[in-house]
Structure formats: C-alpha cells, structure tokens
Structure 1
Amino acid sequence: MASSTYRLADVGAWLTATAKGMVVHANGPAGKVDGRTAVIPQMRGHRIKVVQDGGTVLLVDETTGVVSRIDPSQLKVEQSRALGGVGLQVLVGSGAAYSVDPAKGTVQQIDPVRLSAVGQPAALTPPLGQAGMDAAGNLWVPEPQSGRLVPFHGGRQGRPVPVGGAGDRIALAIAAGTPVAINSSGATASIVRSEGVQKIALPPTVTQAARAGGVKVPAATDGHIVPMLGTGGSLFLLNTQVGQVSPIALRLPSHRFEPPNVLGPRVYLPDRSTGRLLVFNTDTGDWERPMQVTRPGGGIEVVVRDGFLWANDPAGALALAVELGRPGAKRIQKYDDRVPGGQRRPIPTQARPGDGGQGADQGGAGRGGDSGTPPAPPPRDGTPSEPQNVRVDPLNGGMRVTFRPSVGGRPAGYALKGDTAGLQVRPARVGAGGPYQFTVTGGSCNKTYSFTVAVQYKDANGRNAEKSSLASAPVRPCTLPGTPAGFSGAPRNKSAVLTWDGQGTGVTYLLSVDGGAPTPVTSPHTVVGLRNDQKHQFRLTAQNGAGTAPAQASTEVDLAYPRRMYKNANNNETNTLIRPAPRQEGTTSIGSIPRGEYRDLMVICQVRGGTYTETETNYSSDVWNRIEWNGGIGYLHEGLMTTPRTGSFPNLPLYECEN
C-alpha cells in the first residue's frame, strides 16, 4: 500500500475516524479499507474535514484552523500549518487551492503542497458562506452582508455577482460545474453562467428557512439537480438545466437532517435522528428503503465523488459506499473497535418518509423486493386512508396534480381541493381506479397554488364522507419562458432600435447593453446614448413569475458611420477651401476646389464647429461635414455641400462625429 499513489480515479475516498485519531482510505468497489494514517496529536477529538482532489489530500481542523497534507504514496502526514480560525474552509480544484476564513472574511490562495500563502489575501465582509469551486477552477465565495457572490481566479478577485439583498441568507452549490446561489430570504435561485445570471423563482415556503439559517444544499452535484432542504422537512429539487422546481413529499418535521446529496437518479438525505440515509428515486417518484449508517443521533458526513456516494460517521466504526448504477451499498469497517458509548433507544421512523405513516423500517421486502416497503396500513375502522404523496408539477399555463390512492376501505373517487377558485380542473372527479391525476389550467404565474386530494366514500352509516391528504407544496402555474426569438437591432445615430417576437401575457423582458445591468424593456425598444463608430452588444432575457429563461438572445449593432457621396455646392465666386478643422480660419486650408468645379465627395459624418455664413446663399450654421480628402480628412461647411438639411443635427442619414 505504501508504494501506491491514490488518485481521484481510483474510486476511493479518505474518511475520518476520529475515535482512533486517524483517517482511512477506503476502496469503493471492494468495500474495504486499504490504507490509514494517524492525524497530528493536536487534531485528536476535533472536527476534521477531508479535502481531496486527485493526489491532493488535505485535512482541515475546523476547530483550530490547522491544515495538514497527506502524502498518499507514503500514507503519512507531511506538512501542517495554521491557516485560519474556527470554521476554516479549504477548497482545491483544477490545480488551484484557497483558504477561506468565514469569521474574518479573508480569502487567500495557497500552495496545496507547501500549504504556504500565494500572493496577498483579499478582505471581504464577514461572515462568509460556504464557498465552492466551479469547473474552470474559479472560487466563488458568498458574501451575505452584500448579497453577492465574489469570484476569484488565479488568486485575483473578480467582479462580484449580485444574487440578493444585503443580509439575505445565501447558500452556494456547484451544479455540473456551475455556481448556483440559493437565496432563502428572497426565495430565488441564481445560476451564474458565462453569458449572464439566470433567476429561478422558488416556492415561497423557502423563506421560512431563512429564520433558521437558510436552506441546506450540497456543496456540489455532478448533474443539474440541486436538492434543497428547508424547515419542517420540506424538500425540493431544482433542475438547473430546465429551471424547474419540484417538491418531494417528506413528512418528518421533527427530525434533524444534514444537507441532501444526489447520485444519479437518487436523492440521499442524511437523517441524524435515525442515523440513516433516506433515499428518494426521482425516476419512480417514490421513497426507497432507508440505509442505516450509524446509531440514532450519530453524525453523518456525505460526499459524492467519481460515481460513488460515501456516507460516514466520523466517530463511528462504519461507513457506506454507494456506487452509481449498482443496487445496495458496501458497508465498510473502518476499524474493529466498538464505538464508545452505551446503547441508545431507537427513534421510531416511517417506512416511507413521504407516506406520513407510523411504522418503522427494520428491513424486509416491500413493493418491488428491495425497492421499498409497503405504505402505512389502512385505518382499523374500515375506512380508506388519506391519499398520499400529492405532487404538483408546473405546466405552461397550468399544473398537473398526481397522488397515491388511498389504502383500504371502498373509495368512491377522489376530488381536488384547495386553491381551486378561478381554475379549471379536469376531470372534476377521479374514479377509484384512476388514473390518479388532475390537470389544472388557468391561474396567475405571479401566484402560487397548493392543493389537497380528498378521497370520497360512504361511512358506516351510509353517509357521504371525505378524507383529505396533507397539502402539497405551493407551485406556480407556469414554466420558464423560452429564449426570445427574432431579436435584432437597426442602427441609428447614437442609438439602436431593437425588436423581437413576444411570448404572450405574463412574460416581460430584461435588456443588457454592452455588459451593463439589465433593465426592463418592451418591444420595440430604442436604446439611446450609444457611441457612434462602434459595435454594441445587446442581450435580451425573458422572464415571468417562474424566473428567467435558461438562455439569452443576443444581437450586435454596428454604429459605423454611414458614409455617403455628395457634391460640393455654391462654388461660383471663389475657390472652395478645405479646412483642417470645423471652423473658418482665414486662408488656412489643406486644399481647395477650383471655382466653378463640382466634385463627388465622401462625407464621413457631421460635427458642430464655428459658425460660418455662405455668401452666395447667405446660409449660416455651425454644422460642418467631415470628408475624405487626399487620403486623409478635411472639413467643409454644410452650406458648401449638397448634404441633406433636415432641421436637426445631424442631418440624417448622416451620423454625428464622435471624435
């Protein structure tokens, strides 16, 4: 083992084993420990985070801010250095490494081998949020006091990106290499792309988590799904690729959870109250059998890396390795010693977290063998149970409501209840045999709607009765708008006229000019105050109550001078002098046109200069034409040329000279 060099591609992971004062290297496919090393004595008993990227393995003591480097080939600690204080963050990726001290607000690039500082530290406003590194090796640091994400590349601070208001609760997740800022206070998600920031509206209930520190999200996900855990066990999935937010039925409000993680089609939610991983399958839309990681109340750290999910109790003897595409999990014995502490009484848990039942899953086959456990039993009085797992998915102009039917009794059918006023519900009633869904149309994209499903049946006395499900998460009856089509611009003097195809009611547009801040606009829109003889870039974003479109439309408008050929005029009395500047200065000239001669001259643009009176027509003004003359430029008063006189400046179609 000492001759091996562990890399990210070896499908292994370094796991903390604090009860023994060590870290161990586990092999995922084998499900065994194949290397270990002791931490420095000062770290024993402290909270330690393992940071690894390829051959770089760092141990971060979050209690003291001391960082140690492990040499994987020698299985020993090589260097240790104090880089910060309590809660120190260390991030490594794409050959770059940084330390972030949240309490002091300092960001420092470091050498991942020597652990020494590189360059000068940057000072941000503390406290800082959990930072992350994107696919390009850029560091992104949440600065909640300013409501911004602050990027760093090559140790240099970049332009901050606004993602909320000052003091908002902001959490950062890196989804498929792209920064995603979750603003719990404002119920928005900001996806920071190279072409701009995409805003997604989150359910209003997300704001409830702001009072408890904000929603919990994973540090990074391999795909485009970001799971978000709010207060009371509310769980949502944000698809950053299509901008859709889907609620997951989770009815464990009193449990303590760690941030959820995603591996393939499954969401893994660490439940510290039971010591388990709750598993939700996004393909089937159902909860699967939980995975036991540690004793109830124990710690659970989850890391997703290189096609594996690792669940580890730092103080426990066991860890789990879940491989993408393979059923079940490998149980890894980190060491043989028993975990310190006496027996604890298990907390009763639900068979399926989304069912609202009271049973505890202690193993055993369920529906589909190991895929799950049966739902809660029906009531003993012979009546049907309440419908379960009411889910509402947004549609373009409506919503689709699905649910799990009642168990037991003799249901006569199901009706949709809740925020149905002013909406059209089809069918009006779902039969006992299904299909178990409703389609809802109408409503406002700027409002959210929540529903319950009621089972209808006859009670013991033969009277009509109903039982309603728990309320669904609130959803808007719309999806994100598309990228604006037909976006184009026509040049004008110091301006551009922009047009595009509208997308119907409820959709508004934001325009960014030359990389500036976006502002609301309607079509057609004229942008004024532009500089002539330059190209200008325009980006247009569509938005509605659900958020902004996943992609922007862009166009370029070139305000190059529209050069035109015009003849000189009023040249019957004396030679016409070509001036070096837009004013009359005696006989100063750079050339002349002989008296009585009329030529075609290229006019570049017009400029205001000295007032001049043309003697043949007695026309007076301060407008001069800049013309091409003998390979250079010169000036002729407009009274000495046939250029248009529209009563405005400049005389269209000519532009004003900018220099």
Structure 2
Amino acid sequence: MSGDRSSQRPPVLRRLLRRDRVTGQIAVGLVGVLCVSALVYGVGIAGSRYKLADVGAWLTATAKGVVVHANGPAGKVDGKAPMIPQMRGHRIKVVQDGTTVLLVDETTGVVSRIDPSQLKVEQSRVLGGVGLQVLVGQGGAYSVDPAKGTVQRIDPVRLAAVGQPVALTPPLGQAGMDAAGNLWVPVPQTGQLVPFQGGRQGQPVAVGKAGDRLALTIAAGTPVAINSSAATASIVRSEGTRKAALPPTVTQAVRTGGVRVPAVTDGHVVPMLGTGGALFLLNTQVGQVSPIALRLPGHRFEPPNMLGPRVYLPDRSTGRLLVFNTGTGDWERPMQVTRPGGGIEVVVRDGFLWANDPGGALAFAVDSGGLVKRIQKYDDKVPGGQRRPIPTQAGAGGGGRGADNGAGRGGNDPVPAPPPRDGTPSAPQNVRVDPFNGGMRVTFRPSAGGRPTGYALKGDTAGLQVRPSRVGAGGPYQFTVTGGGCGKTYSFSVAVQYKDSNGRNAQKTSLATAPVRPCTTPVAPANFSGAPRNKSAVLTWDGSGAGVTYLLSVDGGAPVPVKSPHTVVGLRNDEKHQFRLTAQNGAGTAPARTTTVDLAYPRRQYKNANNNQTNTLIRPAPRQEGNTNIGRIPQGEYRSLTVICQVRGGDYTESETNYSSNVWNRIEWNGGIGYLHEGLMETPRTGSFPNLPLYECEN
C-alpha cells in the first residue's frame, strides 16, 4: 500500500486541502462535520425526510451554530440544520431558491449546501474569498468574487464549477439575477452592467462613466442600476433602458459608498437610502422619484426594503426596524428586532418580509398587510438541529439582549417630534412631494399639540401656482403645485400658523424636502417608423408628452435633437439604415426606439420610346460610344423594361424629339444590366434628378 493517501481522499477535500493553511483547516473540519452530522447534530435517521412549509425562509441563528426554517403564516420554526463549526462568528448569508439552500461564509468564501429533506449539510466547498457572492435562480447558479473580478457558473447541488470563469475588471458590485435567470454584474470601473445567460457573457449595458459609483437592485424581476455619481437610475428592460434622474443631493452619498438599495424588491418601487438617512422612492414604471421625510442624524442604517405599501428601514443604532406607510404617508410604530448596535438581517421572500437578529433568539415575519409574527428561533421541538449544545467561549453571549422586547415595544414613532410643552403646535411632519407631469403634490402630517389656525406652503414657490393658497386647520393636508420647468428642482416646507401667548400671529416651519422636479420620465415614442426616399428617409413617431426633447442617432452616429416628422438626408441608396430615437426631459430618458429603413432601388416598369427611325441600342455604360452596345430593340418595337435607377452620364440628344440631357436609366437586360438614355424611355420627367420615384444609382 502506498504511503501517500492524498489520492484516496474525495476530490472535494483534495481541492480544499491544496489551499492555504486557514483554508486547509476549514477543509479538515469539514471531514468531521460531514461524517458525524447525523450523530452529533441529530439530523435524523438516514433516509428520513422532512417536509417544510412552502412559504418560509431559512434564517441564521449563529449563537447555536444553526440555521432554522421559519414558517411565515404560522410564525414558527419547523426545521433546523447545523452549520459547519468553522462558520461560527463569521458573517453568514443564506441563499435560497426553491429546494436549493446554500450557506455562504463571506469571511472565508466557503459555501455549504443544506438538504432540506434531510436537514443537514450535504456539500461544502471553497468557491472564493472574502465577500464572495453566490446567486441562484431559475435553475442556474453563479459565484462572483468581487475582489478578483471573476464570475463562475456553478452546479448548485455539487457546488462544482461549470465551464470556465469569466474575468471582469475588479472590484465588482453586488450582482443580481432577474426574473428570467440572467445574472447582472455591476462593473464600476467600466460604468457597465454586464449580463450572463447560461454561463455566457452578454452585451454590456452602459449605465454610467468609468469609475462611477454603482449599485444594483432587482425590482419586480427587472435590473435597476443606481449611479450615485451621476444621480441617475437605469431601468434595464428587453425593449430598452429607461434612465431616470435622481435628486442632485444623491451625489453626496458617493463619499460614504453610494446610495444603498435592497438586493431584491418584489414590486416596481425601489426604496433608496442616501447620505444621513435620506430616503427616496423610485417608481421604475414611470421614473418618478419621491422623497420620504426622515431626520435621525448620526444613526447607522442598513439598506431599506419594501413589501406592499410599507418601507422597512433597519436602524442599527437603535436595533429597530423603522416602518413607513406610503399609503398613509406616516411613520408607523417601529419593531424592536435586536439590542442597540446589534445586527439586523432583512430579506423579502414569498410575500413576507423577514427581519432577523443573527445572534439573537428572535426573528419576525411581516406579511404584505403589515401583520407581524414573532418567531422563536431556538424552539427545540422541531425536526433537525443539535442534540447537545455547541460549546461556546467563556463570556460569549447569545447576542439577543433587547430582542425579546418584540415588535412595537420600543416607544412611539422616532421620526415626528413630540408636542411642545409650551402649548404651541409642533412643526408639520412628514412633508412629502410626489411629482407628476406639469406639477407636484405636497402632502404633510399636521402639527401635534397647540391650536393651529392653518398651514401655508413655503420654499421655492416663486413663479408657481399653489392651490389652495392656505390649508385650514382641519385639512385636507396637501397642496397642489403647478408650473415650473422640468429641468429645474424645487424644495418645499410647510408652516403651521397659530396665535402665540400674546395673541400675535406666529408660525413654525417644517424641515425642507429634498429637491424634486415637476415631471416624470417620458414614455418611449410609439409608432416610430421611416419611409424611404432617394438618399433620404422621412421619420415619424407619436409624441411622448409636453416638454420632451427627441434625440436621433443615424447608423450609430452622435444623437442630435429632432422633431416629428423629420427627414434624414445624405443617406446612401441601396443600403439599409438604422435609426435610434430617444425621448428625454429633465426627469430622465425613456427607452430608445429603433427602426430600419431600406433604401433599396425601387425598380419600376417603363416602356422604351422614340424607336421609329432606327434600332435602339442598349449601351454597356451611360454614354454613347459609336455603335457599341450589348443588345438592341428593333425599330418600331416597344417593350416593357425594368428600370433600376438613374445616373448622370454623357450628353445625348434623342433625334426624333431633339431632347437632350445627361440622364441615363440603368435597366435590367438579359440577366445583366444596361443603359438607355431617358429620351429613349417613358420614364418620368419631374425636372429634378433623379426623376422621382426613381433613385440615383450609387454603385
């Protein structure tokens, strides 16, 4: 027997052991885990299968070294499985799609697969380094190494590479998978979003300039690239890319890593987090951007998420999940998820928003109606999990202090100010501006306390029409603002009016809103088409609304502003030409529309003429050279001929009518081409060259 036993090891472990010392230690640990998982962690008798709820999510419970499966409708844990010991204390991300459940160790790049039917780890491999991303969807799976810039298709069951890796320019942004299973990878160094389908790289989509700060979210299955450097959002669809302009203040977020967005959102509205907790909502269907009033300076936030009409913002400073209802325009009671400064994981899946304290005992499932279910992650009366606790280091806590307070026990809404103690009203709160084409709608929450006499709109109102001019104390609490230019931004505040203790008129003004444009991105121009003409094309389309500029690109050239209808001249005949039309205004750019115009020669049938004196000679070139010819039409004979196009050639005078010109017809003759002077044919005489509807010969 050979003394080298490395060849006897499984291929997975041989590859793991070839890594550096730390990775090698992980691989050695995997041997024990994979061999004794059934014995130590109580995953059941071999061949036993557990049925988990179809509507649920896998959540980390790192204090006990397990991941648990939570049932959303029931609000209970119905299964758990152990992590490998080497994952303890690391940042673990759960990736799940159907029955595929993967644990990604973002500290070491080790990926483990959980078999939901056996509730145990079945496979583990090193797939990358620090910050490794793993994405699964529509039967496909990829690993993305941001630091190395590599994208690798993998088998989600064996965790083995499929095909060769693709190298992009590092560092890469957070990737995402669309509804069709296509992978999209932001490449900030090139300003592009790079797609992959079936492991193959597709045509990149330009979403900015090289070096721009990019973020990606998948909204309703569609990739949306947020460019913090340029303050734009690119909504990438098969019919084209719509580009929406974001508030100029978005660029301030570049200093802190850029605007933060959820990895995935079920609906068409994307919540965005800017500098200092600035919140915006982007409606990807119309390109509308609306700010949400939030003033909590100094707090640390995680990316916002959205389910139904509510925005959920994890506030790590307080350990709470802040909840904003876009339907009512109010902040609702927050959810206490963990202790102040603790971790909060939020994911939207299967119609539920899951809020989890990785190190604590509690998690929360919130349905689209806002109903909250508390989940005890460490419930032992469920299948799987450990049969004895994993030893912990002395002094290591469970990390769950404060989480047991539950949802809504952390006090009232942290955003609106409480009523002043002096009996005067507070300033109006939650001032929100929703733009529409031609104007903006300003809504607000009325003042608390005191005796308001009314409310007035303040800010950039010069030159605008504000209705009503004043809102009564009883509401309705909104103003409609019309006028203004789409290329400008406007910011507003609302002042509450009241009588002070001396009976004098007084007022308190809210904080100003983020700047907003009185318009939304235009729709793509419809019915874009072109009619061919000689060396030109007449383009027409349906308008996209008032205040819209149209940019036209011809055969890939630089775009120029145009109006409908527009005639493009100087084109080459007998060729196809591509036209690309884009509608834009101050709010953004609609998806481009394209059309192709074919300037093929319009071949027409005409008879020969003036053939009564002698035979008509068919010339090999557009000129008379003695009796040189390639054929002849006998004297007195008239036949229908196909005219291809017209060309200027040698001067010629037709003897019967004494008509002179240098215009010749190129005709089809015996399977080839020949030339006849226009005086010898019944072609049109329009006084121009060529004689329409014929085209000029260009080849």
Question: TM-score normalized by structure 1?
Answer: 0.87
2:539 is aligned to 498
**1:135-158 deviations in whole A, cap 9, x for unaligned?**
111111111111111111111111
Q: Which residue of 1 aligns with 2:344?
A: 300
Query: How many angstroms apart in 1 are the aligned matches of 2:493 and 2:84?
Result: 56
Q: Comparing 38-47 with 639-648, which one deviates more in the overlay? A: 639-648
Letter in 2 for 1:283: G
Q: Deviations over 1:367-416 (max 9, x none)?
A: xxxxx799644211121111111111213222222212222222222221
Q: Which residues of structure 2 form unaligned runs of 5+? A: 1-42, 381-388
Distance 2:226 2:57 in 1: 28
Q: Is the 8 A contact 2:241 2:592 kept in 1?
A: no
The equivalent position to 2:693 in structure 1, one of 649, 653, 656, is: 653
Separation in 2, partners of 1:45, 1:328: 29
1:416 to 440, 452, 457: 457
1:101-134 CA distance string (max 9 Å, x none): 1111111222222222222222211111111111
Q: Is this contact kept in 1: 2:365–2:372, CA < 8 A? A: no
Match of residue 176 from structure 1: 220
2:163 counterpart SS class: strand
Q: Could you tell me which residue of structure 2 aligns to residue 317 of structure 1?
A: 361
Mapped to 2, the partners of 1:406 and 1:600 lie a distance apart of: 88
- C-alpha contact 1:140 1:179 (8 A) present in aligned 2: yes
SS for the counterpart of 2:425 is: coil
Distance 2:651 2:128 in 1: 72
The alignment partner of 1:19 has SS state of helix
- Structure 2 distance, partners of 1:284, 1:521, is 43
Instruction: Identify which range, 396-405 or 540-549, moves more after superposition.
Output: 540-549
| Alignment correspondent of 2:640 | 600
Deviation at 1:241, TM superposition (A): 1.5
Q: Letter of the aligned partner of 1:223 in structure 2?
A: G
Q: Please, which moves more after superposition, 632-641 or 107-116? A: 632-641
CA distance in 1, matches of 2:370, 2:401: 32
Contact (CA 8 Å) 1:417, 1:454: kept in 2 or not? yes
Q: Is the 8 A contact 1:131 1:141 kept in 2?
A: yes
Partner of 1:232: helix, strand, or coil? Answer: helix
Whether the 8 Å contact between 1:317 and 1:335 is mirrored in structure 2 is: no
Q: Structure 1: which amino acid aligns with 2:604?
A: R
**Does 2:122 correspond to 1:78?**
yes
Q: Secondary structure at the match of 1:208?
A: helix
CA distance in 2, matches of 1:458, 1:580: 100
Mark the CA change 1:27 to 1:537 in structure 2 (over 3 Å): closer, same or farther: same
CA distance in 1, matches of 2:167, 2:352: 36
Give the corresponding residue for 2:106. 62
Output the CA distance in 1 between the equivalents of 2:99 and 2:555: 42
2:208 to 164, 188, 196: 164
What letter matches 1:334 in structure 2? Answer: Y
In the alignment, residue 235 of structure 2 is paired with which amino acid?
I
Residue range with higher mean Cα deviation, 123-132 or 643-652 = 643-652
Residue in structure 1 matched with residue 675 of structure 2 by the alignment: 636
- Structure 2 residue corresponding to 1:268, chosen from 293, 308, 312: 312
Secondary structure of 2:301 counterpart: coil
Counterpart contact for 1:28–1:330, Cα < 8 Å: no
Task: Report the CA distance shift for 1:133/1:375 in structure 2 as closer, same or farther (over 3 A).
Answer: closer
Equivalent residue in structure 1 for 2:177, among 121, 133, 156: 133
Q: Deviations over 1:306-329 (max 9, x none)?
A: 112111222222221223346222
Deviation readout 1:572-617 (Å, 9 max, x if unpaired)? 5654344677788998876431133232212133467x85857846
Contact 2:139–2:181 (8 Å) recurs in 1 = yes
Superposition deviation, residue 179 in structure 1: 0.7
The residue that corresponds to 1:627 in the other structure is: 667
Identify which of 394, 416, 420 aligns with 2:435.
394
Task: Give the superposition deviation at 1:520.
Answer: 3.3
Distance 2:396 2:264 in 1: 32
2:157 alignment partner in structure 1: 113
**Structure 2 CA distance for partners of 1:168 and 1:314, relative to 1, 3 Å:** same
Counterparts of 2:368 and 2:408, CA distance in 1: 24
> Does residue 413 of structure 2 align to residue 362 of structure 1?
no
Contact 2:194 2:203 in 1 (8 A): yes
Q: In the alignment, which residue of structure 2 is the partner of 1:201? A: 245
- On the 8 A contact 1:430/1:437 being kept in 2, the answer is yes
Aligned pairs (5 A) from 1:198-237: 198-237=242-281
Q: Is this contact kept in 2: 1:227–1:260, CA < 8 A?
A: yes
Match for residue 356 of structure 1? none
Which residue is 1:576 aligned to? Answer: 616
Alpha-carbon shift at residue 544 of structure 1 (Å): 1.2
Deviation of 1:509 after TM superposition, in Å, equals 1.2
Q: Is the 1:272–1:297 Cα contact (8 Å) retained in structure 2? A: yes
What amino acid maps onto 2:309 in structure 1?
P
Opposite residue 310 of structure 1, the aligned amino acid is W
In structure 2, the CA distance between the partners of 1:326 and 1:421, relative to structure 1 (3 Å rule), is: closer
> Partner letter of residue 462 of structure 1?
G
What's the CA shift for 1:226?
Answer: 0.6
One-letter code of the match for 1:595? Q
Deviations 1:16-63 (A, max 9, x none): 222223322222223232322222333332211111111212221111
Return 5+ residue gaps in structure 1 as ranges. Answer: 350-359, 367-371
Give the CA deviation at 1:485. 5.7
User: Which range moves more in the overlay, 506-515 or 150-159?
Assistant: 506-515
Count of residues in Structure 1 that have an aligned counterpart in Structure 2: 637
Q: Is the 8 A contact 2:331 2:415 kept in 1?
A: no
Instruction: Summarize the Cα distance change of 1:109–1:506 in structure 2 as closer, same or farther, 3 Å threshold.
Output: same
Task: Rate the CA distance shift 1:294–1:96 in 2: closer, same or farther, 3 A.
Answer: same
Q: Give deviations 1:343-376, integer Å, cap 9, x for gaps.
A: 99989x9xxxxxxxxxx96368x8xxxxx79964
Paired residue for 2:501? 460
Moved more, 494-503 or 583-592: 583-592
Deviation (angstroms), 1:178: 0.7
| Larger mean Cα displacement after TM superposition, 316-325 or 178-187 | 316-325
Taking the TM superposition and a 5 Å limit, the aligned residue runs for 1:437-476 are 437-476=478-517
Shift in alpha-carbon separation, 1:182–1:59, aligned structure 2, 3 A: same
| Worse-matched range after superposition: 648-657 or 215-224 | 648-657
Query: What is the one-letter code of the residue matched to 1:390?
Result: V
Tell me the secondary structure at the aligned position of residue 165 of structure 2: strand
Q: Take 2:161 and 2:620, find their aligned partners in 1: how far apart are those partners?
A: 59
Look up the match of 2:16: none
Q: Answer yes or no: is the 8 Å Cα contact 1:97–1:112 preserved in 2.
A: yes
Distance 2:235 2:646 in 1: 45
1 or 2 for the larger relative contact order (CA 8 Å, sep ≥6)?
Answer: 2
TM-score normalized by the length of structure 2: 0.83
**Contact 1:581–1:634, Cα closer than 8 Å, also in 2:** no
Bigger helix fraction: 2
Contact 1:624 1:635 survives alignment (8 Å): no
In 1: Cα distance, 2:84 partner to 2:224 partner:
36
Paired residue for 2:37?
Answer: none
Does the Cα contact within 8 Å between 1:612 and 1:637 map onto a contact in 2? no
What is the identity, as a one-letter code, of the residue corresponding to 1:178?
T
- 2:370 is the counterpart of 1:331: no
| Whole-angstrom CA distance in 1 between matches of 2:323 and 2:280 | 14
- Greater mean alpha carbon deviation, residues 447-456 or residues 539-548: 539-548
Q: 1:464 to 1:323 in 2, by over 3 A?
A: closer
Q: Distance in 2 between matches of 1:186 and 1:543?
A: 16
In the alignment, structure 1 residue 17 sits paired with structure 2 residue 61: yes
Q: Which moved more, 1:529-538 or 1:218-227?
A: 529-538
Residue in 1 aligned with 2:326?
A: 282
| Secondary structure of 1:118's aligned partner | coil
Q: CA deviation at 1:523?
A: 2.7
CA distance in 2, matches of 1:656, 1:646: 14
In 2 relative to 1, CA 409–160 (structure 1 residues): closer, same or farther, beyond 3 Å? Answer: same
Partner of 1:431: 472
Aligned 1:226-265 pairs, distance under 5 A: 226-265=270-309
Range with bigger deviation, 38-47 or 152-161: 38-47
Tell me, yes or no, if structure 1 residue 94 matches structure 2 residue 141: no
